Structure 1
Amino acid sequence: MDEFPKGVALVVGGSGGIGSAVARALAGRGVAIAITYRKNEAAAENVAKEIRGTGVTCSVHEISLEDLESVTRCLDSLVEEHGSIHTIVHAAGTYIDQPYVSQVTPEQWRNIIDWDVNGFFHIVHAALPHLRKSKGSIVFISSAGLKRFPPGDVLSIAPKGANEALVHAIAREEGRYGVRANNVAVGVVDAGMFPKLVQSGKLSQEWIDAATKSTPLRRFGTPQEVADAAVFLASSRAGYITGQTLFVDGGYTL
Protein backbone atom coordinates (compact mmCIF):
# COMPACT_ATOMS: atom_id res chain seq x y z
CA MET A 1 0.00 0.00 0.00
CA ASP A 2 1.26 3.48 -0.87
CA GLU A 3 1.73 5.71 2.16
CA PHE A 4 0.29 8.71 0.31
CA PRO A 5 -2.11 9.03 -2.63
CA LYS A 6 -1.55 11.16 -5.69
CA GLY A 7 -1.80 14.90 -5.19
CA VAL A 8 0.16 17.37 -3.10
CA ALA A 9 1.14 17.81 0.54
CA LEU A 10 1.03 21.36 1.88
CA VAL A 11 3.46 22.33 4.63
CA VAL A 12 2.38 25.62 6.18
CA GLY A 13 5.50 27.29 7.49
CA GLY A 14 7.72 25.07 5.38
CA SER A 15 10.53 27.64 5.44
CA GLY A 16 11.11 27.18 9.19
CA GLY A 17 13.23 24.69 11.09
CA ILE A 18 10.54 22.10 11.79
CA GLY A 19 8.46 22.86 8.69
CA SER A 20 11.41 22.42 6.36
CA ALA A 21 12.25 19.08 7.99
CA VAL A 22 8.66 17.96 7.45
CA ALA A 23 8.79 19.03 3.81
CA ARG A 24 12.03 17.10 3.24
CA ALA A 25 10.66 14.02 4.99
CA LEU A 26 7.49 14.03 2.89
CA ALA A 27 9.55 14.56 -0.25
CA GLY A 28 11.59 11.53 0.76
CA ARG A 29 8.40 9.50 0.29
CA GLY A 30 8.11 10.85 -3.25
CA VAL A 31 5.27 13.21 -2.35
CA ALA A 32 4.82 16.45 -4.32
CA ILE A 33 5.30 19.34 -1.91
CA ALA A 34 4.03 22.90 -1.54
CA ILE A 35 5.51 25.09 1.18
CA THR A 36 4.36 28.45 2.45
CA TYR A 37 6.25 31.30 4.02
CA ARG A 38 5.36 34.58 5.65
CA LYS A 39 8.51 36.70 5.33
CA ASN A 40 11.54 34.51 4.63
CA GLU A 41 11.30 33.89 0.90
CA ALA A 42 15.00 33.04 0.63
CA ALA A 43 14.72 30.24 3.18
CA ALA A 44 11.63 28.86 1.45
CA GLU A 45 13.32 28.88 -1.94
CA ASN A 46 16.38 27.13 -0.50
CA VAL A 47 14.20 24.34 0.88
CA ALA A 48 12.37 24.03 -2.43
CA LYS A 49 15.63 23.96 -4.38
CA GLU A 50 16.94 21.15 -2.18
CA ILE A 51 13.75 19.13 -2.65
CA ARG A 52 13.68 19.68 -6.41
CA GLY A 53 17.25 18.44 -6.49
CA THR A 54 15.94 15.03 -5.42
CA GLY A 55 13.55 14.95 -8.38
CA VAL A 56 10.44 15.82 -6.38
CA THR A 57 8.12 18.68 -7.31
CA CYS A 58 8.08 21.55 -4.82
CA SER A 59 6.36 24.93 -5.11
CA VAL A 60 6.69 27.99 -2.88
CA HIS A 61 3.83 30.24 -1.85
CA GLU A 62 3.72 33.48 0.11
CA ILE A 63 0.54 33.67 2.18
CA SER A 64 -0.81 35.78 5.01
CA LEU A 65 -2.55 33.45 7.42
CA GLU A 66 -4.68 36.30 8.75
CA ASP A 67 -6.14 36.80 5.26
CA LEU A 68 -8.65 34.09 4.33
CA GLU A 69 -8.64 35.12 0.67
CA SER A 70 -4.86 34.68 0.51
CA VAL A 71 -5.12 31.21 2.03
CA THR A 72 -8.03 30.17 -0.20
CA ARG A 73 -6.28 31.30 -3.38
CA CYS A 74 -3.22 29.26 -2.46
CA LEU A 75 -5.13 26.05 -1.78
CA ASP A 76 -7.38 26.40 -4.81
CA SER A 77 -4.34 26.90 -7.05
CA LEU A 78 -2.71 23.76 -5.63
CA VAL A 79 -5.80 21.68 -6.38
CA GLU A 80 -5.93 23.11 -9.89
CA GLU A 81 -2.29 22.16 -10.46
CA HIS A 82 -2.09 18.80 -8.69
CA GLY A 83 -5.67 17.53 -8.72
CA SER A 84 -5.95 17.16 -4.96
CA ILE A 85 -4.48 18.04 -1.58
CA HIS A 86 -4.10 14.94 0.58
CA THR A 87 -1.98 16.25 3.46
CA ILE A 88 -1.66 19.49 5.39
CA VAL A 89 1.00 19.89 8.06
CA HIS A 90 0.64 23.18 9.92
CA ALA A 91 4.09 24.09 11.25
CA ALA A 92 3.91 27.88 11.12
CA GLY A 93 5.71 29.68 13.91
CA THR A 94 6.92 33.14 14.82
CA TYR A 95 9.44 34.66 17.23
CA ILE A 96 7.85 35.48 20.60
CA ASP A 97 9.71 37.46 23.23
CA GLN A 98 8.77 35.23 26.21
CA PRO A 99 6.68 37.66 28.29
CA TYR A 100 4.89 36.64 31.47
CA VAL A 101 1.09 36.90 31.48
CA SER A 102 1.28 40.12 33.51
CA GLN A 103 3.48 41.66 30.81
CA VAL A 104 1.34 40.75 27.80
CA THR A 105 -0.47 43.71 26.28
CA PRO A 106 -3.97 43.43 24.79
CA GLU A 107 -2.45 44.29 21.40
CA GLN A 108 0.08 41.45 21.65
CA TRP A 109 -2.70 39.07 22.61
CA ARG A 110 -4.95 40.12 19.72
CA ASN A 111 -2.10 39.89 17.23
CA ILE A 112 -1.01 36.37 18.21
CA ILE A 113 -4.60 35.11 18.31
CA ASP A 114 -5.26 36.58 14.88
CA TRP A 115 -2.11 35.10 13.37
CA ASP A 116 -1.97 31.74 15.16
CA VAL A 117 -5.57 30.78 15.96
CA ASN A 118 -7.46 32.58 13.19
CA GLY A 119 -4.67 31.67 10.78
CA PHE A 120 -4.98 27.96 11.47
CA PHE A 121 -8.77 28.20 11.22
CA HIS A 122 -8.39 29.86 7.82
CA ILE A 123 -6.26 26.94 6.64
CA VAL A 124 -8.85 24.48 7.94
CA HIS A 125 -11.78 26.41 6.47
CA ALA A 126 -10.19 26.54 3.02
CA ALA A 127 -8.88 22.97 3.15
CA LEU A 128 -11.83 20.90 4.36
CA PRO A 129 -13.74 20.76 1.04
CA HIS A 130 -10.58 19.51 -0.65
CA LEU A 131 -9.66 17.07 2.13
CA ARG A 132 -13.13 15.55 2.04
CA LYS A 133 -12.60 14.71 -1.62
CA SER A 134 -9.14 13.24 -1.02
CA LYS A 135 -9.98 11.68 2.38
CA GLY A 136 -6.94 13.55 3.55
CA SER A 137 -5.20 14.38 6.79
CA ILE A 138 -4.25 17.40 8.88
CA VAL A 139 -1.33 17.39 11.31
CA PHE A 140 -0.92 20.36 13.64
CA ILE A 141 2.50 20.96 15.19
CA SER A 142 1.68 21.87 18.78
CA SER A 143 3.60 22.19 22.04
CA ALA A 144 4.27 19.85 24.94
CA GLY A 145 3.94 23.00 27.05
CA LEU A 146 0.18 22.45 27.09
CA LYS A 147 0.83 19.55 29.45
CA ARG A 148 3.83 20.96 31.34
CA PHE A 149 3.71 24.73 31.11
CA PRO A 150 7.00 26.69 30.99
CA PRO A 151 6.78 30.22 32.44
CA GLY A 152 7.01 32.99 29.87
CA ASP A 153 5.56 30.96 27.03
CA VAL A 154 1.91 31.96 27.18
CA LEU A 155 1.84 33.69 23.78
CA SER A 156 3.16 30.55 22.12
CA ILE A 157 1.21 27.93 24.04
CA ALA A 158 -2.22 29.47 24.68
CA PRO A 159 -3.09 29.71 20.96
CA LYS A 160 -2.01 26.11 20.49
CA GLY A 161 -4.57 25.06 23.07
CA ALA A 162 -7.29 26.51 20.87
CA ASN A 163 -5.80 24.89 17.78
CA GLU A 164 -5.59 21.47 19.43
CA ALA A 165 -9.29 21.79 20.29
CA LEU A 166 -10.01 22.59 16.64
CA VAL A 167 -8.09 19.47 15.61
CA HIS A 168 -10.26 17.40 17.96
CA ALA A 169 -13.38 18.94 16.42
CA ILE A 170 -12.16 18.09 12.92
CA ALA A 171 -11.43 14.51 13.94
CA ARG A 172 -14.83 14.09 15.58
CA GLU A 173 -16.93 15.75 12.89
CA GLU A 174 -15.05 15.09 9.65
CA GLY A 175 -14.18 11.45 10.22
CA ARG A 176 -17.41 10.46 8.45
CA TYR A 177 -15.88 11.93 5.29
CA GLY A 178 -12.61 10.05 5.79
CA VAL A 179 -10.72 13.10 7.03
CA ARG A 180 -8.24 12.57 9.88
CA ALA A 181 -6.64 15.18 12.15
CA ASN A 182 -3.92 14.82 14.78
CA ASN A 183 -1.45 16.88 16.81
CA VAL A 184 2.28 16.51 17.35
CA ALA A 185 3.20 18.09 20.69
CA VAL A 186 6.82 19.15 20.59
CA GLY A 187 9.19 19.60 23.51
CA VAL A 188 12.42 21.57 23.30
CA VAL A 189 13.81 21.23 19.79
CA ASP A 190 17.04 22.79 18.58
CA ALA A 191 15.36 24.67 15.74
CA GLY A 192 12.96 27.50 15.08
CA MET A 193 12.59 29.87 18.03
CA PHE A 194 15.00 28.06 20.34
CA PRO A 195 18.34 29.22 18.85
CA LYS A 196 16.99 32.78 18.57
CA LEU A 197 15.93 32.81 22.22
CA VAL A 198 19.34 31.52 23.27
CA GLN A 199 21.11 34.09 21.13
CA SER A 200 18.97 36.92 22.52
CA GLY A 201 19.71 35.85 26.09
CA LYS A 202 16.08 35.02 26.88
CA LEU A 203 17.14 31.43 27.55
CA SER A 204 20.24 31.19 29.72
CA GLN A 205 22.69 28.33 30.02
CA GLU A 206 21.18 27.69 33.44
CA TRP A 207 17.76 27.27 31.81
CA ILE A 208 19.20 24.95 29.16
CA ASP A 209 20.93 22.80 31.79
CA ALA A 210 17.76 22.58 33.90
CA ALA A 211 15.58 21.71 30.90
CA THR A 212 18.02 19.03 29.80
CA LYS A 213 18.16 17.55 33.29
CA SER A 214 14.35 17.43 33.55
CA THR A 215 14.08 15.57 30.23
CA PRO A 216 14.44 11.80 30.80
CA LEU A 217 16.42 11.33 27.58
CA ARG A 218 18.80 14.12 28.73
CA ARG A 219 18.85 15.89 25.39
CA PHE A 220 16.74 18.12 23.17
CA GLY A 221 14.96 16.92 20.07
CA THR A 222 15.80 17.42 16.43
CA PRO A 223 13.56 18.72 13.63
CA GLN A 224 13.89 15.36 11.89
CA GLU A 225 12.41 13.54 14.89
CA VAL A 226 9.40 15.85 14.83
CA ALA A 227 9.09 15.43 11.07
CA ASP A 228 9.13 11.64 11.34
CA ALA A 229 6.19 11.78 13.76
CA ALA A 230 4.24 14.18 11.55
CA VAL A 231 4.82 12.12 8.40
CA PHE A 232 3.73 8.95 10.19
CA LEU A 233 0.47 10.54 11.36
CA ALA A 234 -0.22 11.90 7.88
CA SER A 235 0.45 8.59 6.16
CA SER A 236 -1.73 5.56 5.54
CA ARG A 237 0.23 3.76 8.27
CA ALA A 238 -1.79 5.86 10.72
CA GLY A 239 -5.04 5.36 8.84
CA TYR A 240 -6.96 4.40 12.00
CA ILE A 241 -5.51 7.17 14.16
CA THR A 242 -7.38 10.45 14.51
CA GLY A 243 -7.97 13.07 17.18
CA GLN A 244 -4.77 12.12 18.99
CA THR A 245 -1.75 14.02 20.29
CA LEU A 246 1.65 12.41 19.86
CA PHE A 247 4.26 13.84 22.24
CA VAL A 248 7.75 14.21 20.80
CA ASP A 249 9.44 15.60 23.89
CA GLY A 250 12.01 13.13 25.17
CA GLY A 251 9.74 12.38 28.12
CA TYR A 252 9.67 16.01 29.28
CA THR A 253 5.98 15.85 30.20
CA LEU A 254 6.25 12.71 32.35
Structure 2
Amino acid sequence: MKRFADKVALITGGRSGIGQAIAHRLRDEGAKVFTAQRAPDPDFPNFTADFSDPTTPAQVIEQVIADSGQLDVLINNAGMMQESSIEAISLEDWQRNLTVNLTAPFLLIQAALPHLRATQGSIVNIGSIEGLGANPGHAAYCASKAGLHGLTRAVAVDHGPEGIRCNAVAPGWIDTDLNQDFIDSMDDPQAFRRDIGKIHPVDRTGTPAEVAALVAFLVAEESGFITGQVYTVDGGRMAKLSLP
Protein backbone atom coordinates (compact mmCIF):
# COMPACT_ATOMS: atom_id res chain seq x y z
CA MET A 1 0.00 0.00 0.00
CA LYS A 2 1.26 3.47 -0.86
CA ARG A 3 2.26 5.69 2.07
CA PHE A 4 -0.18 8.48 1.29
CA ALA A 5 -3.23 6.57 0.10
CA ASP A 6 -6.42 8.41 1.15
CA LYS A 7 -4.40 11.51 2.08
CA VAL A 8 -5.02 15.02 0.72
CA ALA A 9 -2.08 17.38 0.24
CA LEU A 10 -1.80 21.05 -0.69
CA ILE A 11 1.46 22.36 -2.14
CA THR A 12 1.79 26.09 -2.72
CA GLY A 13 4.01 27.00 -5.64
CA GLY A 14 3.58 23.44 -6.89
CA ARG A 15 3.69 24.17 -10.60
CA SER A 16 7.49 24.26 -10.93
CA GLY A 17 10.80 23.55 -9.29
CA ILE A 18 10.88 22.09 -5.79
CA GLY A 19 7.12 22.39 -5.40
CA GLN A 20 6.48 20.43 -8.57
CA ALA A 21 8.87 17.68 -7.46
CA ILE A 22 7.08 17.44 -4.10
CA ALA A 23 3.68 17.32 -5.80
CA HIS A 24 4.75 14.47 -8.07
CA ARG A 25 6.40 12.55 -5.22
CA LEU A 26 3.32 12.71 -3.00
CA ARG A 27 0.98 11.82 -5.86
CA ASP A 28 3.20 8.91 -6.89
CA GLU A 29 2.85 7.61 -3.33
CA GLY A 30 -0.94 7.81 -3.36
CA ALA A 31 -1.92 11.30 -2.20
CA LYS A 32 -4.57 13.46 -3.80
CA VAL A 33 -2.56 16.58 -4.53
CA PHE A 34 -3.67 20.17 -5.04
CA THR A 35 -1.36 23.00 -6.01
CA ALA A 36 -1.85 26.75 -5.63
CA GLN A 37 0.12 29.49 -7.42
CA ARG A 38 -0.28 32.42 -9.81
CA ALA A 39 -0.45 30.36 -13.01
CA PRO A 40 -2.68 27.36 -13.81
CA ASP A 41 -1.06 23.97 -13.27
CA PRO A 42 -1.66 21.49 -16.11
CA ASP A 43 -0.52 18.49 -14.02
CA PHE A 44 -2.67 18.76 -10.87
CA PRO A 45 -6.01 20.03 -9.60
CA ASN A 46 -5.07 23.60 -8.78
CA PHE A 47 -6.12 27.03 -7.61
CA THR A 48 -4.91 30.31 -9.05
CA ALA A 49 -3.57 32.18 -6.06
CA ASP A 50 -1.80 35.47 -5.40
CA PHE A 51 -0.13 35.05 -2.02
CA SER A 52 0.68 38.74 -1.78
CA ASP A 53 -3.06 39.14 -1.06
CA PRO A 54 -3.72 38.27 2.62
CA THR A 55 -7.23 37.04 1.81
CA THR A 56 -5.89 34.32 -0.49
CA PRO A 57 -4.62 31.70 2.01
CA ALA A 58 -7.97 31.12 3.73
CA GLN A 59 -9.72 30.99 0.36
CA VAL A 60 -7.34 28.30 -0.88
CA ILE A 61 -7.85 26.16 2.22
CA GLU A 62 -11.62 26.56 1.87
CA GLN A 63 -11.41 25.39 -1.74
CA VAL A 64 -9.44 22.27 -0.80
CA ILE A 65 -11.96 21.38 1.90
CA ALA A 66 -14.91 22.07 -0.39
CA ASP A 67 -13.44 19.69 -2.96
CA SER A 68 -12.13 16.90 -0.74
CA GLY A 69 -13.52 17.40 2.76
CA GLN A 70 -10.13 16.97 4.44
CA LEU A 71 -6.54 18.13 4.54
CA ASP A 72 -3.70 15.91 5.73
CA VAL A 73 -0.57 17.63 4.41
CA LEU A 74 0.29 21.31 3.92
CA ILE A 75 3.50 22.23 2.11
CA ASN A 76 4.30 25.95 2.21
CA ASN A 77 6.61 26.26 -0.77
CA ALA A 78 5.55 29.42 -2.67
CA GLY A 79 7.98 32.29 -2.27
CA MET A 80 9.85 35.15 -3.87
CA MET A 81 13.33 36.67 -3.83
CA GLN A 82 14.20 40.27 -4.58
CA GLU A 83 17.79 41.42 -4.68
CA SER A 84 18.43 44.83 -3.14
CA SER A 85 20.69 46.49 -0.63
CA ILE A 86 19.18 47.39 2.71
CA GLU A 87 19.54 51.09 1.89
CA ALA A 88 17.85 50.76 -1.49
CA ILE A 89 14.88 48.49 -0.73
CA SER A 90 11.60 50.31 -0.27
CA LEU A 91 9.26 49.57 2.61
CA GLU A 92 6.69 48.40 0.07
CA ASP A 93 9.10 45.85 -1.43
CA TRP A 94 10.25 44.75 2.03
CA GLN A 95 6.66 44.15 3.09
CA ARG A 96 5.82 42.26 -0.11
CA ASN A 97 8.73 39.85 0.46
CA LEU A 98 7.63 39.23 4.04
CA THR A 99 3.99 38.89 3.03
CA VAL A 100 4.66 36.20 0.41
CA ASN A 101 7.42 34.32 2.24
CA LEU A 102 6.25 34.50 5.85
CA THR A 103 2.78 35.96 6.35
CA ALA A 104 1.15 33.79 3.67
CA PRO A 105 2.48 30.55 5.25
CA PHE A 106 1.28 31.80 8.66
CA LEU A 107 -2.20 32.48 7.27
CA LEU A 108 -2.30 29.14 5.45
CA ILE A 109 -1.36 27.33 8.65
CA GLN A 110 -3.89 29.33 10.64
CA ALA A 111 -6.69 28.43 8.22
CA ALA A 112 -5.56 24.80 7.94
CA LEU A 113 -5.22 24.04 11.66
CA PRO A 114 -8.81 22.90 12.30
CA HIS A 115 -8.60 20.48 9.38
CA LEU A 116 -5.09 19.23 10.24
CA ARG A 117 -6.26 18.71 13.82
CA ALA A 118 -9.02 16.45 12.53
CA THR A 119 -6.61 14.34 10.44
CA GLN A 120 -3.55 14.50 12.76
CA GLY A 121 -1.85 16.14 9.82
CA SER A 122 1.59 17.47 9.05
CA ILE A 123 3.10 20.73 7.79
CA VAL A 124 6.40 21.27 6.00
CA ASN A 125 7.64 24.79 5.36
CA ILE A 126 10.22 25.27 2.63
CA GLY A 127 12.78 27.60 4.15
CA SER A 128 16.30 28.20 2.90
CA ILE A 129 19.92 28.09 3.94
CA GLU A 130 19.53 31.87 3.70
CA GLY A 131 17.44 31.60 6.85
CA LEU A 132 20.67 30.37 8.46
CA GLY A 133 23.26 32.45 6.58
CA ALA A 134 23.16 35.25 4.04
CA ASN A 135 24.11 36.05 0.50
CA PRO A 136 24.71 39.72 -0.42
CA GLY A 137 21.67 41.82 -1.25
CA HIS A 138 19.12 39.38 0.16
CA ALA A 139 18.07 41.09 3.40
CA ALA A 140 14.31 40.69 2.90
CA TYR A 141 14.64 37.10 1.73
CA CYS A 142 16.94 36.14 4.60
CA ALA A 143 14.71 37.78 7.18
CA SER A 144 11.59 36.11 5.84
CA LYS A 145 13.14 32.64 5.70
CA ALA A 146 14.62 32.97 9.20
CA GLY A 147 11.16 33.96 10.35
CA LEU A 148 9.67 30.93 8.62
CA HIS A 149 12.09 28.69 10.49
CA GLY A 150 11.01 30.32 13.75
CA LEU A 151 7.34 29.93 12.85
CA THR A 152 7.99 26.24 12.22
CA ARG A 153 9.24 25.74 15.76
CA ALA A 154 6.38 27.75 17.25
CA VAL A 155 3.71 25.75 15.43
CA ALA A 156 5.36 22.48 16.47
CA VAL A 157 5.40 23.54 20.14
CA ASP A 158 1.89 24.97 20.22
CA HIS A 159 0.12 22.27 18.24
CA GLY A 160 2.13 19.12 18.88
CA PRO A 161 -0.24 18.13 21.71
CA GLU A 162 -3.05 18.15 19.13
CA GLY A 163 -1.25 15.65 16.91
CA ILE A 164 -0.03 18.20 14.36
CA ARG A 165 3.62 18.10 13.35
CA CYS A 166 5.50 20.96 11.68
CA ASN A 167 8.99 20.84 10.20
CA ALA A 168 11.00 22.88 7.73
CA VAL A 169 13.43 22.07 4.95
CA ALA A 170 16.20 24.55 4.13
CA PRO A 171 17.47 23.87 0.61
CA GLY A 172 20.73 25.19 -0.74
CA TRP A 173 21.50 25.49 -4.43
CA ILE A 174 18.95 23.33 -6.24
CA ASP A 175 18.78 22.86 -10.02
CA THR A 176 15.40 24.45 -10.63
CA ASP A 177 14.46 26.06 -13.94
CA LEU A 178 14.86 29.46 -12.29
CA ASN A 179 18.42 28.70 -11.22
CA GLN A 180 19.22 27.21 -14.63
CA ASP A 181 18.01 30.40 -16.31
CA PHE A 182 20.23 32.39 -13.95
CA ILE A 183 23.25 30.29 -14.89
CA ASP A 184 22.47 30.58 -18.58
CA SER A 185 22.49 34.38 -18.23
CA MET A 186 26.15 34.32 -17.19
CA ASP A 187 28.95 35.19 -19.61
CA ASP A 188 30.41 31.69 -19.16
CA PRO A 189 27.62 29.36 -17.96
CA GLN A 190 29.81 26.26 -18.13
CA ALA A 191 32.43 27.79 -15.84
CA PHE A 192 29.76 29.01 -13.43
CA ARG A 193 28.22 25.53 -13.23
CA ARG A 194 31.63 24.06 -12.46
CA ASP A 195 32.41 26.69 -9.82
CA ILE A 196 29.02 26.53 -8.09
CA GLY A 197 29.36 22.76 -7.81
CA LYS A 198 32.77 23.03 -6.17
CA ILE A 199 31.53 25.07 -3.20
CA HIS A 200 29.68 21.93 -2.10
CA PRO A 201 31.53 19.02 -0.44
CA VAL A 202 29.55 16.59 -2.62
CA ASP A 203 30.98 18.46 -5.67
CA ARG A 204 27.62 19.19 -7.27
CA THR A 205 24.37 21.05 -6.83
CA GLY A 206 21.12 19.41 -5.73
CA THR A 207 17.97 18.31 -7.51
CA PRO A 208 14.33 19.08 -6.70
CA ALA A 209 13.71 15.33 -6.36
CA GLU A 210 16.22 15.14 -3.50
CA VAL A 211 14.35 17.83 -1.60
CA ALA A 212 11.04 16.12 -2.36
CA ALA A 213 12.33 12.83 -0.93
CA LEU A 214 13.01 14.47 2.44
CA VAL A 215 9.65 16.26 2.44
CA ALA A 216 7.86 12.97 1.74
CA PHE A 217 9.64 11.38 4.70
CA LEU A 218 8.73 14.28 6.99
CA VAL A 219 5.00 14.01 6.25
CA ALA A 220 4.93 10.21 6.47
CA GLU A 221 4.01 8.17 9.52
CA GLU A 222 7.55 6.89 10.02
CA SER A 223 8.67 10.42 11.01
CA GLY A 224 5.97 10.65 13.70
CA PHE A 225 8.47 11.57 16.44
CA ILE A 226 10.04 14.40 14.40
CA THR A 227 8.70 17.93 14.75
CA GLY A 228 9.99 21.48 15.14
CA GLN A 229 13.13 20.75 13.10
CA VAL A 230 14.83 22.59 10.24
CA TYR A 231 16.60 20.19 7.88
CA THR A 232 19.39 21.59 5.73
CA VAL A 233 19.58 20.08 2.23
CA ASP A 234 22.66 21.70 0.75
CA GLY A 235 25.28 19.09 -0.17
CA GLY A 236 27.31 20.12 2.87
CA ARG A 237 27.70 23.76 1.78
CA MET A 238 26.90 25.24 5.21
CA ALA A 239 29.30 22.81 6.89
CA LYS A 240 32.27 23.81 4.76
CA LEU A 241 34.57 26.56 6.00
CA SER A 242 36.20 28.89 3.48
CA LEU A 243 39.93 28.53 3.01
CA PRO A 244 42.07 30.50 5.51
Residues in 2 aligned to 1:177 and 1:2: alpha-carbon distance in whole angstroms: 25
The number of residues matched between the two structures is 239
CA RMSD of aligned residues (A): 2.2
Instruction: Determine if contact 2:186/2:192 at 8 Å carries over to the other structure.
Output: no
How big is each residue's C-alpha offset from its partner over 1:52-92, in whole Å with a ceiling of 9 and x where there is no partner?
xxxxxxx1111222334332222123223222100011111
1:187 aligned to which of 172, 177, 180: 172
1:175 aligned to which of 148, 160, 168: 160
Instruction: Determine if contact 1:4/1:236 at 8 Å carries over to the other structure.
Output: no
Instruction: Determine if contact 2:130/2:146 at 8 Å carries over to the other structure.
Output: no
1:220 aligned to which of 196, 205, 213: 205
Give the equivalent residue in structure 2 for 1:71.
57
Matched ranges for 1:115-130 at <5 A:
115-130=100-115
Aligned-residue offset at 1:97: 4.4
Matched ranges for 1:132-147 at <5 A:
132-147=117-132
Instruction: Determine if contact 2:183/2:189 at 8 Å carries over to the other structure.
Output: yes
Residues in 2 aligned to 1:218 and 1:3: alpha-carbon distance in whole angstroms: 32
Instruction: Determine if contact 2:171/2:233 at 8 Å carries over to the other structure.
Output: yes
Residues in 1 aligned to 2:85 and 2:33: alpha-carbon distance in whole angstroms: 38
Sequence identity of aligned pairs in percent? 30
Give the 3-state SS of the residue equivalent to 1:129 in structure 2: helix
Instruction: Determine if contact 2:76/2:124 at 8 Å carries over to the other structure.
Output: yes
Aligned AA for 1:252? Answer: R
Matched, 1:113 2:98: yes
Give the 3-state SS of the residue equivalent to 2:140 in structure 1: helix
1:196 aligned to which of 155, 175, 181: 181
Instruction: List 4+ stretches of structure 1 deviating above 6 A.
Output: 202-206
Aligned AA for 1:131? Answer: L
Matched, 1:37 2:37: yes
1:61 aligned to which of 41, 44, 47: 47
How big is each residue's C-alpha offset from its partner over 1:118-168, in whole Å with a ceiling of 9 and x where there is no partner?
111111111111111111000011111233322233332221111111111
Give the equivalent residue in structure 2 for 1:99.
84
Structure 2 unaligned spans of 5+: 240-244
Give the 3-state SS of the residue equivalent to 2:20 in structure 1: helix
Give the 3-state SS of the residue equivalent to 1:89 in structure 2: strand
Matched, 1:164 2:119: no
Aligned AA for 1:9? Answer: A
Give TM-score scaled by structure 2 length. Answer: 0.89
Give the 3-state SS of the residue equivalent to 1:183 in structure 2: strand
Matched ranges for 1:232-247 at <5 A:
232-247=217-232
Matched, 1:151 2:136: yes
Give TM-score scaled by structure 1 length. Answer: 0.86
Structure with bigger RCO (C-alpha 8 Å, 6+ apart):
1
Aligned AA for 2:129? Answer: A
Aligned AA for 1:124? Answer: I
Aligned AA for 2:137? Answer: G
Structure 1 unaligned spans of 5+: 49-58
Give the equivalent residue in structure 1 for 2:4.
4
Give the 3-state SS of the residue equivalent to 1:101 in structure 2: coil
1:242–1:192: structure 2 CA closer, same or farther, 3 Å change rule? Answer: farther
Aligned AA for 1:18? Answer: I
Give the 3-state SS of the residue equivalent to 2:84 in structure 1: coil
1:110–1:70: structure 2 CA closer, same or farther, 3 Å change rule? Answer: closer
Residues in 2 aligned to 1:235 and 1:203: alpha-carbon distance in whole angstroms: 42
1:206–1:99: structure 2 CA closer, same or farther, 3 Å change rule? Answer: farther
Give the equivalent residue in structure 2 for 1:81.
67
Residues in 1 aligned to 2:187 and 2:225: alpha-carbon distance in whole angstroms: 41
Instruction: Determine if contact 1:11/1:19 at 8 Å carries over to the other structure.
Output: yes
